[in-house]
A and B are shown apart, each in its own frame.
Chain A
Amino acid sequence: QSVVTQPPSASGTPGQRVTISCSGSSSNIGSNTVNWYQQLPGTAPKLLIYNNNQRPSGVPDRFSGSKSGTSASLAISGLQSEDEADYYCAAWDDSLHGPVFGGGTKLTVL
């Protein structure tokens, strides 16, 4: 059971906007930045959002991140079939002295 909580699943239709939530505590999200990762089947995780809301080069601006207090969220607008993947949030935890990951959210594009 992860100390950072994500919904196990989410879904949307093409073109729709979906959001994925990530809930933590004062020792992780509340005091450190949040990263989001996309993992396509059979591949390594790919950094999607870093420092709460920054996109690495090459990540479409359809993906956006936000953080408030001990929670964060990932928004995907203009949903596309290729967005079907597992999404993970993560933040450094000051108590565990390491990054903690959410349990992951499986996004299905209907």
Chain B
Amino acid sequence: EVQLVESGGGLVQPGGSLRLSCAASGFTFSTYSMNWVRQAPGKGLEWVSHIGISGSPIYYADAVKGRFTISGDNSKNSLYLQMNSLRAEDTAVYYCTAYSTSSLIEFWGQGTLVTVSS
């Protein structure tokens, strides 16, 4: 069974940092590209960052460029998102997704809530 389990969310003050993790199982992690997608309270889905197979290419949405860093560890079947200089508008549930470039199917995790507030 495919599973993506996010962790690391929580309450952080504006300007602070947080590191999200996504533990993958049930599929060959190294053959999937990965994304972080977020959803602010009561709002729609917004793409945050992408990392390709074997760590390349890497892309970011303009809203987070220069503040967030995506990375992956194939030995641990894990995806990460380092979030710095957090702002109130970064408050959202963050989902990790896995995409197969061969079958074109995509899997989603259950999300982790990040709240940026003083």
Contacts and interface: CB of A to CB of B under 8 A. Distances in A.
A51 B105 CA distance: 8
Interface residues of A, number: 23
A50 B46 CA distance: 18
Contacts of A47: 105-108
Main secondary structure on B side of the interface with A: strand
A50 B45 contact: no
Interface string A61-105: 000000000000000000000000000101000001111111110
A50 B104 CA distance: 7
B105 A50 contact: yes
Main secondary structure on A side of the interface with B: strand
A103 B44 CA distance: 6
Interface of A: 2, 33, 35, 37, 44-47, 50-51, 54, 56, 88, 90, 96-104
Interface of B: 35, 37, 44-47, 49-50, 57, 59-61, 95, 104-111
Q: Which 7 residue pairs are nearest across A and B when measured between Cβ atoms? A: A97-B59, A101-B45, A51-B104, A98-B47, A104-B44, A44-B110, A99-B47
